[in-house]
Structures are given as structure tokens and as C-alpha cells.
Amino acid sequence: MNWTVGNCIKKGRVHEERNLICQDSVYEMKTQGVSCIALADGAGSRKLSDVGAELAVRQACYCVSDHFEQLWKETEKKIGHYICSEVIYRLHNYAEKMGCQVEELASTLLLLAVKDTRVLFYHLGDGLIGCQEKDEVKILSHPWNGRDEWHTALTTTKEVSYYARTGKRRLDQTVRFFLMSDGLTSILYNRRRHCFTKQAERLLKGKIKQQVPNFMEVYRSKLYDDSSIIWMEQI
């Protein structure tokens, strides 16, 4: 089974106006029969969160791709704990080497990996994980926020594995998966009803490679936060 991967990242309006760097990061990996995609949204208040986001997506893809078979046999709780541990270990190593506080590397983290008909996904923080089955788009993991929409779990959060959501499933009729950051869910996700907007359904079922970049350009003025999406679809 072959998969093609694409992504689109736009710097948020606020970051554009303040001449700040984009803090979102995406990554893909194909190795040992595993196709893996990951996305991280660096915490806006942390100075090195763009670096932390990149470290997180790479480490998560490496550890899941290398240990997919072992992870598939584990409980979802153990899978989440393993990924959290691997990522925070990498962040601590970097912080020690560079002489910075590990909290400055904080980000959310979303990952999805496929091998043959088996699917693993991991979700820490806001943003969402979804899929398309035939002509229907579904949410596999919803955004998680704390006391309000501006608070969420991050890779450096104390007892981080408690907040991680992990899942296993079979492909069945799935033709596309996607991960997106909260910048994009702010206009594609209905928080009250916990579902996609009608606009999102049309966008995500269409020719995503062409439509998503156009959509993000048209709605650029409404994308206050950095916005990113990475998808994987069967070919």
C-alpha cells in the first residue's frame, strides 16, 4: 500500500505583523514499511519553541517508525507513555547541550503512522487528527484545551503522558489522513458542536493538494496564529 504526503504551513497574521518566525513544524518519514507524519505547534510564549517543535516531530517519527511492531502489541496507555518519554528525553538532551531551559522548547505534538493495514496515532494538546473514509471526513482525535482555548498540554508539561491520547485502528475504507494545528482548526472546527464546519468537509474531501494552499491564502487575514496541515493519502 503506497501513500503520498503533502503539507502546507502559513505564518500567522500576528507573527507576520511582529516579524516573528513561524513556530509550527511538520515532518514525514517512510522507512521499514512504515509511513509516518507528525505536526507540532510551538508554544507562542516560549523563545525556542520553533526548535522544540522540530525536535519533537523528528524524534516522534523516528521512535514510532523504528518500534512500530512492538508498539502495536502494547496498550494505548503504554504507547503514549513511550512516545512522551522519547520526546522529552530528546528535548532534555538538547537543552543541556545548548544551556537553555527545557520549558523553552515546549510544543504540542500530533503523529500518525501506517504499516500495511494498521494505524497508530498520538495526540498531545490542541489541533486535531482526522481522516476521510469514502466521501465522509471524520475526526479521530479532537482538540484538547484546559480552562480555556488558550491553554493546552505541551511536550514539557509535568506528567505529560497523562494528557496524551493514543489510538490504534485498521485502515478499512480510509483513503486520507490529516493532522492540523489550532491555527487552522480555528476556522475549520466548530468548538460548540465538536465537529468540522461544512467548509472544512468540502475542503478536506476535495483535491487537497491544490485546494488547501489556495484556501489558506484567501483566509490569510483570519489566520491569526501559525497554521499548518500535513496529510497522507493513498495512491
* Contact by Cβ (8 Å): 179, 110: yes
pTM: 0.96
Which amino acid belongs to residue 67? Answer: H
Sheet holding 128-133, edge to edge: 3-10, 227-234, 174-180, 128-133, 136-141
Return the pLDDT at 155: 98
Question: C-alpha angle 209/214/217, rounded to 5°?
Answer: 135
Long-range contacts from 187-194, C-beta under 8 angstroms, 24+ separation: 187/219, 187/222, 187/223, 189/128, 189/143, 191/143, 191/149, 194/139, 194/142
Return the pLDDT at 148: 66
Q: Render each residue's pLDDT in the chain as its tens digit; 235 residues.
A: 799 999 999 999 988 888 889 999 999 999 999 999 999 999 988 999 999 999 999 999 999 999 999 999 999 999 999 999 999 999 999 999 999 999 999 999 999 999 999 999 999 999 999 999 988 999 999 999 866 666 899 999 999 999 999 999 999 889 999 999 999 999 999 999 999 999 999 999 999 999 999 999 988 888 889 999 999 999 8
Return the pLDDT at 147: 66
The CATH number of 3-234 is 3.60.40.10
Residues paired with 174 in a beta bridge? 133
* Contact by Cβ (8 Å): 126, 41: yes
Return the pLDDT at 92: 98
* Contact by Cβ (8 Å): 74, 38: no
Helix (H) or strand (E) holding 33: none
